[in-house]
Amino acid sequence: MRVLFATNPPRSVLRYMVPLAWALRTAGHEVRFAAQPALASEITQAGLTAVPVGHSRDMPKVAERTGVEAERAGLPAPYDAYDTPEKANWDYVRTALAGPGMESVKYGNFPVVAGLVDFARSWEPDLVVWDPLCNAGAIAAAACGAASARLLIGYDVTGGFRELYLRLQAEQPEAERGDALADWLGAYGRKYGFAFSEELVTGHFTVDQFPASLQAETGLDYVRTQFIPYGGASVVPGWLHKPAERPRVALTLGLSATEVYGGYTLSLPDIFAALSELDVEVVATVAESEQDKLGTIPDNTRVVSYVPWQALVPTCSAVIHHAGAATLATTARYPVPQLSLHYHFDQPLLAHKLAEQGAGLEIHTSKATGGAVRDAVARLLSEPRFTERAVALRDEILALPTPNELVGRLEELTTKHRGR
């Protein structure tokens, strides 16, 4: 069958999708990967066939439009209603969805919709796989009669919010049940010859790369698979071939901190100084643009601009990270306790789920002092229950089908939903 993947920037989102694209390709299916032209080189670097559509729009401009602090404050409107009880009311969600919510959806999708639909209609894929913020993929699937699969790249914020929205909407009088998202998607339906349905929001089915213990609780049906890390082209450094002489603690704050937000929100020098009081070896990935702000590096700390996380984690006794979905999920494949210093979008939700499962601890970035981080790491290293729960999480993940093992199920679902 023919499978079309569709995604919006940033490149980190694309990388969540590459392993499944390769699984389908190695199973003998034709795969194309559509995205804004700026992502074409990232797609081809992954060995996949790129289809540039529309025009490029830089993701850093999103932060510039709304303000860095607003972007970093957690879930943006309207999705913040999902984890803020006082905002989970009809007046707020309707207004927020029609305002900043729709602005955000349109910002990423508008540049590619027409080109994506044109390509889908000419190539005629059987299945379109799209990330949760790329509703253009759902529009293209409906326009050409393909099955539509939403591929999660973390906590299911969009699915959970949509459930909340529909529940609150159903409680309102008929005349007050506005739905800006349905109106926007329905307008494309009228243009391309289909009616609005919830499949345009959540797909015919959802592929989830997270185990149930780390995922949102919704009424949607999920087809689960293992998260397989892919971080782009990388080289394993020679020093990593040698075993650590002391317990190794890895630290990363992810790509978005510098690519989208222009810096970190906590004091790495304070954290390094506090960790130097422990009998550990620290390996920290810090963007080169930020390294001149670190001052004197303690003797037990190695600072590098990048190292493949999936190569570093198995050598560690504990890790510290920002609760980015890919970083957390990669770490969870190994029985390594995690400390999450979370701040942005779904990071607080994922960090809370991880702590609830027992494989780690969480500290909001605003409270992540050097002493707090040191004490949390000391607990992860000294209390056996964290490793025990990390092993349980690893086992839960490995019990899920790999992307290759999932292909047969995707074939069945495509046959079921194609042309509907």
Domains of the chain with CATH codes: 2-226+400-417 (3.40.50.2000), 238-398 (3.40.50.2000)
d(CA 359, CA 236): 27
In the chain, how long is the greatest CA-to-CA distance? 68
Give the model confidence (pLDDT) of 6-16 as tens digits: 999 888 899 99
User: Would you say residue 159 has pLDDT above 50?
Assistant: yes
- Write out the two tokens for 172: 């309102």
Going by pLDDT thresholds of 50, 70 and 90, the confidence category of residue 73 is: low
User: Would you say residue 320 has pLDDT above 90?
Assistant: yes
d(CA 277, CA 47): 45
Going by pLDDT thresholds of 50, 70 and 90, the confidence category of residue 345 is: confident
d(CA 155, CA 131): 12
Q: Please name the residue ranges forming H helices in 124-241.
A: 135-144, 157-170, 180-192, 199-202
Q: What percent of the chain has pLDDT over 90?
A: 79
Size of the chain in residues: 420
Going by pLDDT thresholds of 50, 70 and 90, the confidence category of residue 108 is: confident
Residue 411's pLDDT is what? Answer: 98
Average pLDDT taken over every residue of the chain: 92
Least confident span in 181-195, 260-274, 362-376, 389-403:
260-274
User: Would you say residue 265 has pLDDT above 80?
Assistant: no
- b/e string for 287-305 if b means 16 or more Cβ within 10 A? beebeeeeeebeebbbbbe
Cα 22 versus chain centre, distance: 18
Query: What average pLDDT score do residues 33-59 get?
Result: 92
Residue 258's pLDDT is what? Answer: 57
DSSP string, 75-105: SPTTGGGGT-GGG-SHHHHHHHIIIIIHHHH
Query: What average pLDDT score do residues 152-163 get?
Result: 94
Does residue 201 contact residue 132 with C-beta atoms inside 8 Å?
Answer: no
d(CA 40, CA 44): 6
- Write out the two tokens for 318: 């504990």
Least confident span in 151-160, 183-192, 260-269, 316-325:
260-269
pTM of the prediction?
0.93
Give the model confidence (pLDDT) of 346-368 as tens digits: 899 999 999 999 999 999 988 99
DSSP string, 224-256: E-------SS----GGGGSPPSS-EEEEE--SH
Q: Degrees (nearest 5) of the Cα angle 313, 352, 98?
A: 115
Residue 149's pLDDT is what? Answer: 98
Q: What are phi and psi of 2, to 5 degrees?
A: -100, 130
Query: What average pLDDT score do residues 82-92 get?
Result: 92
